[in-house]
Amino acid sequence: MAAMTGLARGLAGLALALIVLLAPMAARAQSLIRDAEIEYALKRLTQPLAVAAGLSPQRLRVMVLQDSSLNAFVLDGQTIMVHSGLLLRLESAGELQAVIAHELAHIANGHITRRLANIRGAGSAAGMGLLMSLAVAATGNADAAAGLAMGSSSTAQRLLFAHTRAEESSADQAGARYMARAGISPQAMVDVLEMFRGQEALSETRQDPYVRTHPLHADRLRSVRGYASAYKGTAQPDAEADYWFARARGKLGAFLQSPRYTLRRAEKDKTAIGMMRRAVAWHRTPDAKRAMAELARLEAAQGGDPFVQELKGQILLESRQFGPAAQAYARAVRMAPNEPLILAGYGRALLALDRPGENRQALDALEKARARDPFDPRMLRDLAVAYARTGNNGMASVATAERYAIMGRMDTAGVHARRAEGLLPRGSPGWLRADDILAAAERSARK
């Protein structure tokens, strides 16, 4: 990152990483859920809709916020956020694709771009912090957003995420058209809206945030039924979409819902998805012996799948079996060498071994992960540890500064950036990255 403008564009473009410090899948705190398998599944479900909308599938990301309420919104011109509560409530791939199609229409129609113009225009650290506060506010966590640029969560949501009735109608119409072009029944959009029917009569504190940010009224529902009728007969069965929806929803539920509930629901499921769910549930119980038994069955059925190896690595790592965890992650990396979250997990497992050779390997894996996804605070924390263990304290400070900048803590980021500048050769790549962050921190302090 040779210049502040480049850093600002990157941070604005992937503003999803500004929400909160990323947590493991099993974490209870409200956070952005990062999981390679779930993100891959969501990308597969989004791709045909993006093509139908004339948008680039490679530039779009659908991410999951750990929040039990029902909501989805566009964070920026290429990021759609879906609450975990909504994803777990939806019953089919078509329903999830209906939500995604509607949000893609907001992007394609430019509804969010106008509101982001003032934030992005300055390309400033204050703008980055504002995106962070808005994203945190969208989770309903007012305490987390307090003191940031926009203040209360309700104000932030109304200013950025709330759409007008005209915008909602146009997004419905465009979304139904995208679904029909992709061979998906727009009836699923009717089913989603029926889920929220009647909520506008409730007090605002009792409404799901989707209703507050996506006005639902009788005319809108009537129109969506009309679109579904007009496109009747255009849908084609899509077993692949059903599979990836079940896989994403199954894994999310296994990590977020009660293990007893998961085990009861998955007890007779003989598929690989059922094995995965039971392995996670037994791991969370915790019952390591039964978790490993399910993993063994899953690996026998689907051992060539990188996400199976990643899950095995995660469970082993969290069970403090560091050597086998690193081996499982290594297999996952060989199968998916460009997946940053798998690379980051591999680096984390190698760091757990804490031996000179493994620390150097960890540094290599984490640098590759950063090159592909530089906005993962957990990866940056591990990268700082890897730099420190291999004797490069200057770059450890750079990685730490970048982590705090992504979290929106620009004052702390500035402290570490200044320390990095004192440790690195002036004009070196690391020094320039630190200088970018220091300039952003100083601008943020002035504002």
In a domain? residue 114:
yes
Q: How confident is the model at residue 149 (pLDDT cuts 50, 70, 90)?
A: very low
Stated as kind and residue range, the H or E segment containing 75 is strand 72-76
Question: Residue 24 is encoded by which pair of tokens?
Answer: 């493991």
Q: How confident is the model at residue 111 (pLDDT cuts 50, 70, 90)?
A: low
Q: Would the pLDDT of 158 be above 80?
A: no
Cβ atoms of 377 and 17 closer than 8 Å: yes
**DSSP sequence for 339-391:** -HHHHHHHHHHHHHH--HHHHHHHHHHHHHHHHH-TT-HHHHHHHHHHHHHTT
| More confidently predicted of 113 and 13 | 113
In a domain? residue 405:
no
Question: Residue 282 is encoded by which pair of tokens?
Answer: 């037994």
Q: Where are the alpha helices (DSSP H) in 63-164?
A: 84-89, 93-108, 113-121, 125-138, 142-145, 153-156
Averaged over 64-87, what is the pLDDT?
88
For the chain, give the percent of residues with pLDDT over 90: 62
pLDDT of residue 224: 94
In a domain? residue 209:
yes
Averaged over 369-381, what is the pLDDT?
91
How many other CB atoms are there within 10 angstroms of residue 202's CB atom? Answer: 11
| More confidently predicted of 33 and 46 | 46
pLDDT of residue 129: 44
How many other CB atoms are there within 10 angstroms of residue 186's CB atom? Answer: 30
Q: Which amino acid is at 416?
A: H
Q: Would the pLDDT of 382 be above 50?
A: yes
- The model's pLDDT over 384-412, given as tens digits with 9 standing for 90+, comes to 999 999 999 999 999 999 998 887 788 99
Mean pLDDT lowest for which of 194-203, 229-238, 390-399, 406-415? 194-203
Task: Give the Å distances, CA to CA, from 172 to 100, 135, 210, 221.
Answer: 11, 23, 14, 9
In a domain? residue 155:
yes
Averaged over 164-169, what is the pLDDT?
78
Q: How confident is the model at residue 14 (pLDDT cuts 50, 70, 90)?
A: very low
Cα separation, 219 vs 221, in Å, equals 6
How many other CB atoms are there within 10 angstroms of residue 6's CB atom? Answer: 12
The CATH number linked to 172 is 3.30.2010.10
**DSSP sequence for 200-213:** GGS-GGGS-HHHHH
pLDDT of residue 236: 84
pLDDT of residue 145: 31
| More confidently predicted of 282 and 66 | 282
Mean pLDDT lowest for which of 151-155, 184-188, 275-279, 413-417? 151-155
Full residue range of the structural domain in which residue 135 is found: 32-230
In a domain? residue 211:
yes
In a domain? residue 163:
yes
Residue appearing with tokens 């009836």 = 187
Q: Would the pLDDT of 26 be above 70?
A: no
Q: How confident is the model at residue 246 (pLDDT cuts 50, 70, 90)?
A: very high
Task: Give the Å distances, CA to CA, from 300 to 67, 288, 304, 308.
Answer: 34, 18, 9, 10
SS3 state at 286 = coil
Q: Which residues pair with 197 in a beta bridge?
A: none
pTM of the complete model beyond 0.85: no
In a domain? residue 111:
yes
User: Edge-to-edge strands of the sheet including 32-33?
Assistant: 32-33, 61-65, 79-83, 72-76
pLDDT of residue 336: 98
Q: Average pLDDT over the chain, rounded to whole?
A: 83
Across 17-71, where does the E strand assignment appear? 32-33, 61-65
Q: Is 89 exposed, middle or buried (0-12, 13-18, 19+ CB in 10 A)?
A: middle
- The model's pLDDT over 310-355, given as tens digits with 9 standing for 90+, comes to 999 999 999 999 999 999 999 999 999 999 999 999 999 999 999 9
Total domains present in the chain: 1
Cα separation, 440 vs 447, in Å, equals 11
In a domain? residue 177:
yes
